[in-house]
Structure formats: structure tokens, C-alpha cells
Amino acid sequence: MCNDSTCPAHCLSCVGQQCNVCRSGFYGELCRLICSTNCSPDGCNFITGTCLSCNTLGWYGPTCNETCSFTCLNNVCDCNTGECKNACSIHCARIGEGQTCLRNGTCTNGCVQNYFGSTCDTGTSFENNDGSPIPVIAGSVGGVVVVLIVIGVAIVILRQRTRRQPTDANEYYNMPPF
């Protein structure tokens, strides 16, 4: 235990039998517990071990061990609550300057055009960059034309097969006129 003249290795200051200041990166009664590796270089609360801030984007929680929602823009969320900072998914509809999604990434104002789902992560690809459905229409028309050509060729081949060719001269003369 601590006394007034000596402190354990990671304890910077003692009062009676307890450390009151730990070196950065340590916490606990004798400063023997190590802060989470996700804590910033500032370390953690010397009593509880709660990170003072997280060292990398994308993490939150008391020990920075929970990941931000994948729908948070640039994976940035509040270090304590996990709520998306700055902006949510780019596919969440925006109304004014307010928050557009909840902590779990659910878009509060719906989705922009052609996206759906609670986090607006599912989209359709019916439009090109200028917003027109020309590629889809052209592809559909082209597909129909190909199918019609195949059907036409099949009909011609079947008609030719059904015409019976005479096997001898007598059959040729007995055939009905066309």
C-alpha cells in the first residue's frame, strides 16, 4: 500500500493508503490497472478507468470499445453516446440542420430518392448520373428485340422441318398443290 513517502510505480501522488493521481494510461487504487488501448493518450479516469476521450474515430463508450454505426459519415460519432456527429449516411433525407439519424443509424426523416430501409443503405440502380432512366429503358427494349428475333428464327426452322420432303418419285406426283 501507499504511504506518504513512497508510491507504487504508476502512482504519482499518494494520500494515506491510496493513490490520488496515476500516470497516464493507468488507473485503480494502486494505479496497477491499465486503461483501454482505445483511450486517447490523455488516458482514463484514474478511479473508474473511463476513457477521457477515444484515440481513433469509429469508437465510443466508457472504454472506447463500442463501434460507431456504419451509417455515420466518416465513421464519426459522439465518444460518450455513439450518436452520429456531423452527419449520418449520405442517403438519409435532410430537413434543415438537425440530426438525420438515431444512434443506431436509423434515418429519422426517411431516405433520399431511390434508397430505402431504416438506414437507407439499400438503393436501386435504375438511374444514371443525371437522374434519367435511359439505360434501363434501352436495355429492356434491346432485350425484347433479341427475344423476338430468337422466336422468329425458331418459327422458320420449325416450318422447314414440318415440310415433308418426298422420298420417291411417286410421292412427289401425289402431293397436293400449294
Quickly state the pLDDT bin for 163 (edges 50, 70, 90).
confident
Q: What is the mean pLDDT of the chain?
A: 78
Q: Could you read off the pLDDT of 14-58 as tens digits, one per residue?
A: 877 678 888 889 998 888 899 999 898 888 998 899 998 888 888
Q: Is the Cβ–Cβ distance between 27 and 40 less than 8 Å?
A: no
Enumerate the H helices of the chain as residue ranges.
134-162, 169-173
- Name which residue leads in pLDDT, 100 or 63: 63
Rounded to an integer, the average pLDDT of 157-168 is 70
Q: Outline where DSSP puts E strands in 44-144.
A: 59-60, 66-67, 115-116, 122-123
DSSP class of 97: T
Quickly state the pLDDT bin for 103 (edges 50, 70, 90).
low
Distance CA 56, CA 79 (A): 10
User: Does pTM surpass 0.85?
Assistant: no
Q: What is the grid cell recorded at 94?
A: 435532410
Per-residue pLDDT at 95 exceeds 70: yes
